[in-house]
Chain A
Amino acid sequence: MTGLVIALLWFPLLGAAFSRLAGRTSWFLAGAGANALALFVAGVLHIPLKPVIAVLGLSAIAVMAMTPSSGARVPRASEVRSALPLWITAFVLLIGAVITPLNDYDGRAFWMLKAKAIAHEQRIDGPFFQLQSTHSPRNQYPLLAPLDAATVMMFARDGDDRHARALFAMFAIALAFEVRRRFAEWFSPSTAVWLATLLLWIPQIETAGGGARSAGADVPLAAFVGCAFFELIEARAPLRLGLWLACLVLTKNEGVPFALVFLAAGVFVFRRRIIAAAIPLAIAIAAQFAWRARIAPTDEQDFLGQLPGLPQHIGRIGEVLREFLPRFGFLWIAVAVAIAVLVVKRAWRPLVFGLVAILPMLTLYTLAYVVTDWTIAELVRVTATRLLSHFVAPALFLIAAALHVTQSKRWGEISEPSPARS
């Protein structure tokens, strides 16, 4: 229960303070991102982690006390009633995650082991990451999720993984509520509720192996992809976009190209204001480089190093597609239909946003399968559903845009999407 309380209080407190400064956003996701970003930079600078956590908490309380409310409020009973499917699904998922023990492979082998080590050593470049104590597979994996989990463990004064169970489920739940909030503004409240609920029912998200009930970093990455994507569409707060881009870099290796794609798209959306987003991203990338230069090398596959071999392996593309495409599932059939609707109805703006968020990274993932040293079928079997989960928010956006194609078309004529008519 300690972990549940911390996940529901600490991260939302930090996120609420961030929202006061940078505008309304998901409290939990902003808090989880700001907490890990601050701890990571502090860790690289050799500043002890516990004092940083204390300073973060005090700063958040000070911001909440000294700045006016950004308009966020506790939901009314009628709003909860209208979103009952979402609340019930979120409750079952969260309580289920808290009650059932962690049993996924990557969560224990890589991510949670790092969290335990950070909580134990109070450092991100101590003996564990120097491979001087414990065997540390995937030693250079980014640390956002482990740092948040370690924070929970430090509060609980116990390195047991049960304390972090709620944290990982909350990434999916917070994304679902952010989808609901955004889609209610842009499309309609009822579409927002049902698509947000659907997000928690998608097999890639719901599953205990790599999904919301695991301790992996794929659902957190999907959450930050969703938030960054929504900032691009809203085109209002480049600083918030910067936080999400930094979080992408610090969550998974795939987050770096994701962040660069969104930054490039952000140049067209924000023009010169994109500088505000580029600064946190640059800090995260620089800190990541500095940290990796200081710790022991990793045992993971060097995808970038294999890319030059693409011309020799391009013949394997057929095998990759044969293995990869059957993993896409019903959501992607709906996305294909949605794309067709948007093309036919000439709703170009939402179509372009959705495709920019999906196509470059989907192409990159496909190329990664082409150049891999692993058996393609085996690698696809193990990773495909997790990789596809990264696109869940843009995928749902395309579906919502197709369902509200008249409103979506108006986006091409006005600078910002207008509030929805239900």
Chain B
Amino acid sequence: MMRRPALAVLFACAIWFSGHEYVQLVRDSLALLPLRYEERRERVLGGDYVVMQRLASEIPRDASVTIVLRRPRDIDRGIFLNYYLYPRATHFTEPSRCGAGFPTCPPGGRLESLPHTMTRTGVIVLVDGSDMRVISR
């Protein structure tokens, strides 16, 4: 006798907490369906993704890429850039934290001198907030 009311209460809670997520999923799916997959990504992932894709199209697939993080908080963007640049060889450098596990550092941690101190040949990409750009080839 108590089964149906109990299940109804559980479902009411589930709909209360997840109903809007499912409605949003259906809405998003219908809105995205007519678009090409790349366009869907641009719409869902936003400006950072567009910039990362532009960088990926600029950098040859066999290039070695140094991702320079302007500030520690740029690490998340760096991580995603690392993901979208795959299979390019990448490594991170963060001038403000030289010696803390970052192999390529400019003297004194000065970003300006970085391109001249690179020991590896390849492309250097600076991640400075949402501004991500190639600074040296």
For B76, the chain A residues whose CB sits under 8 A away are 105
Complex partner residue of A135 from B3, B7, B82, CB under 8 angstroms:
B82
Inter-chain CA distance A404–B28, complex, in Å, is: 39
Instruction: Tell me if B13 counts as interface (CB < 8 A to partner A).
Output: yes
Q: Are B88 and A330 in contact (CB-based, < 8 A)?
A: no
For A334, the chain B residues whose CB sits under 8 A away are 6, 10
Q: Are B14 and A100 in contact (CB-based, < 8 A)?
A: no
Interface of B is mostly: helix
For B67, the chain A residues whose CB sits under 8 A away are 135
Inter-chain CA distance A201–B21, complex, in Å, is: 9
Q: Would you list which residues of chain A between 20 and 74 have a CB under 8 Å from chain B? A: none
B127 to nearest A CB, angstroms?
12
Q: Tally chain B residues at the interface, Cβ within 8 Å.
A: 38
Complex partner residue of A203 from B3, B21, B86, CB under 8 angstroms:
B21
Q: Are B89 and A134 in contact (CB-based, < 8 A)?
A: yes
Q: Are A330 and B7 in contact (CB-based, < 8 A)?
A: no
Once A and B bind, how many residue pairs between them come within 8 Å at the CB atom? Answer: 107
Complex partner residue of B25 from A96, A109, A329, A399, CB under 8 angstroms:
A96
Find the A residue at minimum CB distance from B27: A96
Q: A135-B92, A194-B11 are in contact. Are A100 and B86 (CB under 8 A)?
A: no
For A137, the chain B residues whose CB sits under 8 A away are 79
B34 to nearest A CB, angstroms?
10
Q: Are A403 and B6 in contact (CB-based, < 8 A)?
A: yes
A399 to nearest B CB, angstroms?
7
B1-13: contact bitstring with A at CB < 8 Å (1 yes, 0 no)?
0110011001101
Instruction: Tell me if A108 counts as interface (CB < 8 A to partner B).
Output: yes
Q: Which of A99, A109, A207 has the most CB of B within 10 A?
A: A99
Q: Would you list which residues of chain B between 59 and 96 have a CB under 8 Å from chain A? A: 67, 76, 79-80, 82-83, 85-92
For B80, the chain A residues whose CB sits under 8 A away are 108-109
Q: How large is the interface on A (under 10, 10 to 19, 20 to 34, 35 or more residues)?
A: 35 or more
Q: A99-B32, A101-B37, A330-B13 are in contact. Are A206 and B83 (CB under 8 A)?
A: no
Find the A residue at minimum CB distance from B78: A135
Q: Would you list which residues of chain B between 1 and 46 have a CB under 8 Å from chain A? A: 2-3, 6-7, 10-11, 13-15, 17-18, 21-22, 25-26, 28-29, 32-33, 37, 40-41, 44-45
Chain A residues within CB distance 8 Å of chain B: 89, 92-93, 95-96, 99-101, 103, 105, 108-109, 112-113, 116-117, 120, 133-135, 137, 159, 162, 191, 194-195, 197-198, 201-203, 206-208, 213, 329-331, 334, 399, 403-404
| Pairs A–B under 8 Å by Cβ, sample size 25 | A89-B22, A92-B25, A92-B26, A100-B28, A100-B40, A103-B44, A108-B83, A113-B86, A116-B86, A133-B87, A133-B90, A134-B90, A135-B91, A135-B92, A137-B79, A159-B86, A194-B10, A198-B10, A201-B15, A202-B18, A213-B25, A330-B10, A399-B10, A403-B3, A403-B7
